[in-house]
């Protein structure tokens, strides 16, 4: 793309604000003492009502929705102008303070490169705002126009001259609009009270699916780290009316997916919903350290609105439920009053890259196509101009400190959640706010763990941002230590600090068992009362079916279990016949888990059957139907079964064994649940263990059977017992 220079010469609209009151003169002073007591009382009451702990606050927003055809950032597969508009885009500005103000402008965009942030700051110098006191942040919506310099290799050579010109024009326009928004916020400042608090929102899930501790693709890694905190900063005017709300959540802004339409995604809908709830307020939403966190579920505009509504609902809980207390001048129980304007600390550090390849390598890459060719071209140009490829990345960090009440750290780029987890353990998470995508867009900022796991955020996304290779693992300590040093001793973790509660996904299991209980009341369930009554009986004596799984048995992956959670799974597909998955089961005495019904002293020979339970799943119902699967019970019996999504029951030809499948989680083509295997003890001649094996009977299909690698059957049987208890 062509380089360009932006200028903005509009005069600054300056506003003036004075606070004063007049004490009425008394015609007669009854006594000196009475006068001064009355005056002191009046001054105290007036100051309390009007001026105590107020901070000058100004907000503004400007519509930045494009009016001409432009290409959207966010997905490399889209290289044509947008098709339509789902929602408006905005530049939202907040200014805090009078004599030494700070400002943040939040743009609905995928990312704002350093050169554009620098232009915004340069054009604001005549306002009294210094560069280090201005933040330029992005919501990271993937449905906004690309800006000049954003992910340069991604777009190099893929735009027509007309598209490049449209991108340059929009970039000029949006720089001017961000500057105007900040200036309007400057002139609108008035004394307000400032408060902050932390809530929790749950729709963000770790998207890095792992297989054998290596990146295997995008999805939902249920046990992966998250940051579900929702810190908010709010300002109220003299009448207690909320005039500004700033919310921050760590999640990619990608709910609507790759549809080629304009919109702010969940962050935009969060702002809309908040401003509807608080009609006198201007709302800003920024993104925390959520580079590897994705919205769950995703794929539609309606889901984006739902996620935005979740943000708004939590903001309302934190602010509006205590509105009466706020109007009386008291601080809400769910928020804490900010008593001082922020001080600013800014530093720039270098993030080391692993040693990049030399000139010969890049010359060889010129024979390739696509992004590899474009990166090689850029690296050879860098060698020609500077003598070598850069082996480090400039990384500016800014921190705002409101006394010892709150530290707000702002980092560039797409910062993975591990940095939030670590900083919220080493600093006081109860007084910490973390925002990414600020002041620059150098690409992903992976942690040591993510670098070891590899994959998108660690490796091949680097090419889009013109980086010659991966980061060195030392970057994690360098960033964390810098933020800690900038925060200072007063924000370090104390021995009495409780653990941050925001970093684990809530279990889906309780909801799954509740849904099962509701299903048991339906007409569909009543139509299968014979099988349901059989399960109710089996639960009483069932024992865990999986004692050990050989390491070479089946393939390994992560997939949805009975609750829809992504768990380690071993599986076989019917792409080939005779593929098998085996494990060992112990035939323990069938003792009730209830202490009131224990059959003490009994052994396998004294009961007619053993009931074994295991968790797993069946899938890809839309694939071609085959002869199905077969579970072999030692060398004595076998049961043939197939892929289903509904409660099902199969018996062996001998009638000695039976398999019942209770699915609880379902998709269009897959299911996950519990299998109950009933076997005749006499057939196995008092054995203490047997080998179970599931074998594929079909071929040419992707239908599969899966077994959860980690089973907690005793706990789950107790939960099932409660659900199946007669009502």
Per-residue pLDDT of 654-669, as tens digits, reads 888 999 999 999 988 9
Strand partners of residue 295: 204
Per-residue confidence (pLDDT) for residue 588, from 0 to 100: 61
Q: Are the C-beta atoms of 679 and 637 separated by less than 8 Å?
A: yes
Per-residue pLDDT of 369-393, as tens digits, reads 888 999 999 999 999 999 999 999 9
**DSSP class of 354:** P
Crossing angle for the helix pair 529-539 and 713-724, to the nearest 10 degrees: 130
Q: Which residue has the higher pLDDT, 629 or 578?
A: 629
Residue 284 confidence (pLDDT) above 70: yes
Burial class (CB in 10 A: 0-12, 13-18, 19+), 650: middle
**pLDDT over 90 for what percent of the chain?**
77
Per-residue pLDDT of 235-262, as tens digits, reads 999 999 999 999 999 999 999 999 999 9
Q: Which residue has the higher pLDDT, 318 or 558?
A: 318
Q: How far is it, in rounded angstroms, from Cα 248 to Cα 94?
A: 14
Residue 47 confidence (pLDDT) above 90: no
Per-residue confidence (pLDDT) for residue 17, from 0 to 100: 34
Mean pLDDT of the chain: 88
Tell me if residue 134 falls in helix, strand or coil: strand
Q: How far is it, in rounded angstroms, from Cα 461 to Cα 469?
A: 10
Residue 606 confidence (pLDDT) above 90: no
Per-residue pLDDT of 477-510, as tens digits, reads 999 999 999 999 999 998 888 999 999 988 889 9
Average pLDDT rounded to a whole number, residues 671-689: 83
Q: Are the C-beta atoms of 676 and 662 separated by less than 8 Å?
A: yes
Q: How far is it, in rounded angstroms, from Cα 184 to Cα 450?
A: 42
Going 502 to 419 to 407 to 491, the CA torsion angle's sign is: positive
Residue 597 confidence (pLDDT) above 60: no
Structure tokens that stand for 64 in this block? 């930045």
Structure tokens that stand for 207 in this block? 């998207």
Per-residue confidence (pLDDT) for residue 365, from 0 to 100: 94
Query: How does residue 686 score in pLDDT terms, banded at 50, 70 and 90?
Result: low
User: Measured between alpha carbons, how far is residue 459 from residues 104, 367, 463, 530, 706 in Å?
Assistant: 31, 21, 8, 55, 31
Per-residue pLDDT of 413-462, as tens digits, reads 999 999 999 999 999 999 999 999 999 999 999 999 999 999 999 999 99
Residue 48 confidence (pLDDT) above 90: no
Query: How does residue 24 score in pLDDT terms, banded at 50, 70 and 90?
Result: very low
Per-residue confidence (pLDDT) for residue 609, from 0 to 100: 84
Per-residue pLDDT of 171-207, as tens digits, reads 999 999 999 999 999 999 999 999 999 999 999 999 9
Strand partners of residue 519: none
CA triple 411-482-387, angle to 5 deg: 75
Q: Which residue has the higher pLDDT, 29 or 702?
A: 702
Strand partners of residue 614: 675
Query: How does residue 46 score in pLDDT terms, banded at 50, 70 and 90?
Result: very low
Structure tokens that stand for 645 in this block? 């999504």
Query: How does residue 683 score in pLDDT terms, banded at 50, 70 and 90?
Result: low
Count each helix (H run) and each strand (E run) in the chain, helices first.
16, 33
Tell me if residue 105 falls in helix, strand or coil: strand
pTM above 0.85, yes or no: no
Residue 600 confidence (pLDDT) above 70: no
Structure tokens that stand for 175 in this block? 């720089």
Q: How far is it, in rounded angstroms, from Cα 539 to Cα 516?
A: 15
Per-residue confidence (pLDDT) for residue 703, from 0 to 100: 96
Q: Which residues contact 415 (CB under 8 A, 6 or more apart)?
A: 289, 291, 436, 445
Average pLDDT rounded to a whole number, residues 37-61: 62
User: Measured between alpha carbons, how far is residue 369 from residues 75, 146, 503, 511 in Å?
Assistant: 19, 23, 41, 49
Q: Which of 445, 574, 423, 622 is nearest to 503 (CA)?
A: 423
Structure tokens that stand for 721 in this block? 């017992």
Residue 594 confidence (pLDDT) above 50: no
Is there a cis peptide before residue 195, judged by omega within 30 degrees of 0? no
């Amino acid at each position: 793309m062509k380089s360009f220079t932006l200028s903005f010469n509009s005069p600054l609209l300056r506003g003036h604000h004075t606070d004063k009151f007049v004490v009425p003169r008394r015609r007669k002073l009854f006594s000196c003492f009475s006068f001064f007591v009355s005056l002191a009382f009046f001054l105290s009451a007036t100051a309390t009502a009007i001026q105590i702990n107020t901070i000058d606050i100004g907000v503004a927003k400007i519509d930045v929705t494009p009016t001409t055809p432009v290409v959207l950032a966010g997905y490399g597969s889209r290289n044509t102008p947008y098709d339509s508009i789902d929602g408006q885009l905005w530049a939202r500005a907040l200014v805090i303070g009078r004599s030494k103000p700070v400002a943040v402008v939040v743009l609905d965009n995928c990312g704002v490169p350093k050169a554009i942030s620098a232009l915004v700051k340069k054009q604001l110098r005549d306002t009294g705002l210094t560069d280090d006191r201005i933040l330029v942040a992005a919501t990271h919506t993937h449905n906004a126009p690309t800006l000049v310099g954003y992910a340069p290799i991604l777009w190099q050579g893929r735009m027509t001259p007309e598209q490049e010109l449209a991108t340059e024009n929009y970039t000029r326009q949006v720089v001017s609009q961000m500057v105007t928004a900040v200036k309007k916020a400057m002139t609108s400042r008035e004394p307000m009270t400032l408060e902050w608090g932390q809530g929790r929102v749950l729709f963000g899930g770790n998207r890095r699916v792992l297989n054998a501790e290596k990146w295997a693709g995008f999805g939902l890694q249920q046990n992966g780290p998250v940051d579900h905190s929702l810190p908010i900063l709010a300002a109220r005017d003299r009448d207690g009316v909320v005039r500004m709300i700033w919310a921050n959540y760590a999640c990619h802004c990608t709910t609507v997916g790759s549809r080629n339409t304009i919109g702010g995604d969940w962050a935009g809908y969060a702002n809309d919903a908040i401003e509807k709830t608080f009609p006198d307020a201007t709302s800003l939403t920024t993104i925390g350290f959520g580079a590897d966190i994705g919205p769950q579920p995703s794929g539609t505009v309606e889901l984006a609105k739902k996620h935005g509504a979740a943000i708004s609902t939590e903001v309302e809980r934190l602010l509006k439920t205590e509105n009466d207390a706020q109007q009386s001048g008291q601080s809400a129980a769910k928020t804490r009053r900010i008593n001082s304007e922020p001080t600013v600390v800014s530093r720039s550090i270098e993030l080391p890259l692993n040693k990049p390849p030399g000139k010969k390598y890049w010359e060889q890459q010129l024979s390739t196509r696509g992004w590899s060719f474009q990166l090689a071209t850029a690296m050879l140009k860098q060698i020609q101009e500077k003598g070598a490829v850069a082996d480090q990345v400039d990384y500016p960090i800014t921190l705002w400190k409101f006394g010892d009440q709150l530290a707000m750290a702002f980092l560039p780029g797409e910062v993975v959640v591990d940095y939030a987890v670590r900083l919220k353990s080493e600093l006081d998470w109860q007084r910490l706010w973390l925002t990414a995508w600020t002041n620059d867009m150098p690409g992903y900022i992976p942690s040591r763990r993510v670098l070891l796991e590899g994959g998108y955020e660690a490796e091949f996304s680097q090419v889009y941002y013109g980086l010659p290779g991966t980061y060195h693992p030392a970057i994690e300590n360098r960033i964390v230590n810098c933020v800690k040093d900038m925060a200072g001793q007063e924000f370090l973790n104390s021995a009495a600090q409780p653990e941050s509660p925001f970093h684990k996904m809530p279990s889906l299991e309780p909801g799954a068992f509740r849904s099962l209980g509701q299903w048991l009341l339906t007409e569909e369930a009543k139509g299968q009362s014979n099988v349901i009554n059989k399960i109710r009986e089996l639960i009483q004596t069932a024992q865990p079916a999986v004692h050990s799984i050989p390491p070479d048995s089946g393939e390994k992956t992560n997939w949805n279990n009975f609750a829809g959670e992504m768990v380690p799974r071993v599986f076989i597909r019917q792409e080939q016949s005779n593929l098998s998955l085996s494990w060992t089961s112990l035939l323990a005495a069938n003792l009730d888990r209830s202490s009131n019904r224990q059959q003490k002293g009994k052994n396998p020979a004294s009961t007619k059957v053993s009931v074994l339970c295991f968790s797993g799943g069946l899938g890809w119902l839309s694939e071609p139907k085959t002869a199905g699967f077969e579970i072999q019970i030692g060398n004595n019996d076998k049961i043939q079964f197939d892929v289903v999504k509904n409660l099902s029951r199969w018996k062996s030809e001998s009638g000695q064994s039976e398999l019942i499948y209770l699915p609880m989680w379902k998709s269009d083509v897959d299911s996950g649940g519990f299998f109950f295997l009933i076997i005749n003890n006499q057939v196995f001649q008092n054995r203490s263990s047997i080998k179970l094996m599931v074998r594929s009977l079909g071929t040419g299909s992707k239908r599969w059977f899966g077994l959860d690698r980690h089973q907690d059957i005793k706990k789950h049987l107790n939960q099932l017992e409660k659900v199946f208890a007669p009502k």
